[in-house]
């Protein structure tokens, strides 16, 4: 097996996990990376988010401290709008209280 293939598996896991995040809940890039077997590959999740399929709920993926994504379609403003649409509070600094919305698969 090539390591390239393993990465593809990682990617599939990330996509599946993101697709499972419930409405009004969020996960961080690092959290997703860890659950998919690469504890320190948060950046890769960011890459996947950037190049990945638009139909997944990427608005439910935020940074570990609740920061929104500048590279989101429409920038942080667009991200904020999509989060607000599901009832998630975003402050004027484009941040959320992650402890209030974070989701772990077992919940």
Nearer to DNA, 2 or 106 (CB): 2
Nearer to DNA, 46 or 103 (CB): 46
Least Å distance, CB 89 to DNA, is: 18
Least Å distance, CB 98 to DNA, is: 9
93-to-32, 69, 81 alpha-carbon distances in Å: 24, 12, 13
- Are 89 and 96 spatial neighbours (Cβ–Cβ below 8 Å)? yes
Nearer to DNA, 40 or 106 (CB): 40
What's 26's DSSP letter? B
Give which of 1, 27, 24 is closest to 13, Cα–Cα. Answer: 27
**Where do contacts with DNA occur on this chain (CB under 7 A)?**
3-4, 7, 10-11, 28-31, 38, 40-47, 49-52, 58, 61, 63-65, 67, 69-73, 79
Give the Cα separation of 65 and 77 in Å (integer). 18
């Amino acid at each position: 097996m090539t390591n390239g293939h393993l990465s593809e598996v990682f990617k599939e896991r990330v996509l599946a996990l993101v697709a499972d995040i419930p409405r009004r809940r969020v996960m961080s890039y690092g959290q997703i990376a860890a659950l998919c077997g690469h504890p320190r590959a948060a950046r890769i999740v960011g890459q996947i988010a950037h190049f990945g399929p638009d139909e997944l709920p990427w608005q439910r993926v935020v940074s570990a401290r609740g920061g929104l994504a500048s590279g989101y379609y429409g920038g942080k403003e667009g991200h904020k709008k999509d989060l607000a649409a599901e009832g998630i509070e975003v402050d004027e600094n484009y941040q959320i209280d992650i402890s209030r919305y974070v989701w772990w698969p077992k919940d």
